[in-house]
Structure 1
Amino acid sequence: MKKNILTFLFILSCLTAFQGQTYRIYYQMTYKIDSTKNESANKKMLLDVKDEISKFYSYDLYHIDSLAIHNLDVRTKAADFDFMITKNKKENKIEKYYIIGLDRYSLKEDWPKLDWKIIEETKNIDNINCQKATLHYKGRDWIAWFAKEIPFQEGPYVFNSLPGLIIDIRDSGNNYIFTMTELKKDNGEVNMETDFIPVTQKQLNKLYEDYYNDPYKELKAGKAVMKVVDESGRVVTPNFKQLTEFKQKQLKNNNNPIELSEAIKYP
C-alpha cells in the first residue's frame, strides 16, 4: 500500500475537481469459511464509487468482465459473486447477489441503518490518519478505521455512512477483515448487474434449503453435465447419494457467513 501513497495523495487533492468521476478502491479481504478451523481465505475485492452509486465485488469478476469485452462467452462462466453488493443512495436501496445451483438470484433491501459509534481514538494506517468507529451488525461486532480526509462515506460490503472512507474494518473475532490497499480514478461507469432473478429473503432461504436437500437436482434432470472418472481414468456414473452427503457436509461446515444472524440452519 505504501508505494501507492503518492498516487493516492494526488487523487485526494483532485477529488473536488472530479465530481462525477468513478473511483476504484482496492481491498484485501481475509475471512474464515469454517469457524471451527484456523484456516483463512483471501480475496481481492474492488469498490467502485460514483456519486450516489457504488459496487463492491471481486477482482476475479472484474477480470472476467474485462475478458468478456473480447469473448462474450467468458462472462457466462464467471461464478465469483460472493460478497458482491451494490448500493444506490438515491433510491435508498442495496442489492445482494447469490448463486445457488445453476441459477443467479438478487435480494434488494432498504438502505441499512448502521448505528455507528464514533470514538475519539485515532491511529495512522500507512500514512493515512484514521479514526475509530464501532458497530453491531447482524450478529457481529465490528471495529472500523475511517479517514476523514477521503470524502467518501463508503466502505466494503454494506458498510458506509461514516464521515470518510473506511480504510480497515474487521469483526471482533477477526473472522472477516477488509483492508484498503489502493485508490484510483477510473474512466468507466459503475456497472450494475441485471441478469439475476429477484427474490425475497424468505424465498432465498427456501432456495438454500432446497439446494441442501437435493444439490444435484439439475444434474439428475439433465440440465447440466458432470464427468466423473475413476482411478483408471474411466468415465463412470456419478454416485449422487455419496456426492449429496459430501456436499451437505461441506455446506454445514461453511458455517461462518458474514451476516451471522442470517445463517441458514441446516438439519
Structure 2
Amino acid sequence: MKKNKLLIKFLFFCIIIFFDNISAQNKLFKYDLEYKSNPQKDSITLKKMVLDSENGKNSVFRTEHDRTSDSLIAITGLGLGRGMTLEDQLYVTKNFTENVTYKSIQTVYRDIYSIKIAERLDWELLPEKSRIANFNVQKAKVNYGGRNWTAWFTSEISIQEGPYIFCGLPGLIIKISDDQNDYNFSLTEIKNGSSKVYYRNKGSELTWEQFKKLSENYYSDPFARMKSMGVPVKKDDGTGNAVSVNMKEETDKLKRIIRENNNPIELNHKVEYK
C-alpha cells in the first residue's frame, strides 16, 4: 500500500483557538481510508470517511455516503441506497459518558444491527516521535481484531479520538494502519461540525456469533427476502431499460463478490464463506 500524504486543508490562523475550544464544540474530522478488500490482490480501495464528534461526549464514524444518507433520512424519511455486502461496513458510534462503542451494520433491506465492541484497546505508548503535516506526533501500538496496529497521535489536539473504533490515546489519532497494510487511515481535514449530528438508530443488538449466522444466511441466498415478497429483481441493461435477471447467475455473481472481498478489519471474526 502506498504511503499516504496528509492533505490538511483547514486554515492555520485559527489553530490555537480551535485547539483550546475543541472539547466544547462539535467537530468534524475527515479521514482517507485506503484498504485491500482482497489481501491476495494489489488493488486498493479508497473510501472517504467522516468522524463527527459531539462536544467530545459522543461520536459517529462513517463514510461520507452514510453521513449524507443519515441526514436525508432524518429530514425527509428517505435515505440513499447501500451496497449488497456486509463485511466492508465501517459505521461506528462511541458514547464516552457510558464508555460504550457499537459497530453498526445495515442490510440492503435497511435492517439495522449493532455489535457492542467489548475488546479492550490496551495501547502501548512508544518513545518515537515525528512530525506529520504540521503536527508533532508520537507513536503507539495496539492489537485489535486480530491485527497489530501502529498509530501516530498528536497531543496538540486534546481530544482522545480517532477513526473507526480507535480512541483513548492522549490526543487525536492522525494516522493508523495495521502491520499487513490492509487498512490505512489518514487524517485529511478538520473543520467545525454541524450543530446537529444525525445518527442511524441502534437497531437490534447482535453478538459476533449472531452476526456470523446472519452473514452466512445472507450468503446462502442473498435474494431470499425479495423472492419471498414476490419482488421482481431487475437491472439496467446499459441503455436505461430495466430488464429481468437470471436469479441463479446474479446469486452466483454476488456470492463470488462476497468471497473475493472478504477482508474485514476484525480478522478474529472473519466469516469463512464456501
TM-score, normalised by the number of residues in structure 2: 0.85
Matched, 1:130 2:137: yes
TM-score by length of 1: 0.87
- Tell me how far apart the structure 1 counterparts of residues 241 and 135 of structure 2 sit (CA, whole Å): 58
| C-alpha distance in structure 1 between counterparts of 2:143 and 2:22, whole Å | 34
The counterpart of 1:88, out of the listed 73, 95, 98, is 95
Q: 188-197 or 178-187, which moves further after superposition?
A: 188-197
Contact 1:53 1:190 in 2 (8 A): no
Distance 1:45 1:171 in 2: 17
Residue aligning to 1:28: 32
Tell me the distance in 2 between the aligned counterparts of 1:167 and 1:231: 42
Quote the residue 2:3 is aligned against. Answer: none
Deviation at 1:25, TM superposition (A): 0.6
Please state how far the C-alpha of 1:237 moved relative to its aligned partner.
Answer: 4.5
Pairs within 5 Å for 1:63-212: 63-66=68-71, 72=76, 74-75=78-79, 77-79=80-82, 82-110=89-117, 112-194=119-201, 196-212=203-219
Asked if 1 retains the 8 angstrom alpha-carbon contact of 2:70 and 2:198, the reply is: no
3-state secondary structure, aligned to 1:221: helix
1:57 aligns with 2:62: yes
**Alpha-carbon distance in 1 for matches of 2:71, 2:114:** 25
What is the SS of the residue equivalent to 1:4?
coil
Q: Which runs of 5+ in 1 are unaligned?
A: none
Query: CA offsets per residue over residues 41-83 of structure 1, 9 Å max, x none?
Result: 111111111222111011122233455577x2541x3427920
Question: Do 2:91 and 2:104's aligned partners in 1 also have CA atoms closer than 8 Å?
Answer: yes
Long gaps (5+) in structure 2 = 1-5
Amino acid of the residue matched to residue 120 of structure 2? Answer: K
Percent identity, aligned pairs only, is 33
Residue aligning to 1:4:
9
Q: How does 1:34-53 map to 2 (within 5 A)?
A: 34-50=38-54, 51-53=56-58
Q: How much does 1:141 deviate?
A: 1.0
Q: Secondary structure at the match of 1:120?
A: strand
Could you tell me how far 1:190 is from its partner in structure 2?
Answer: 3.5
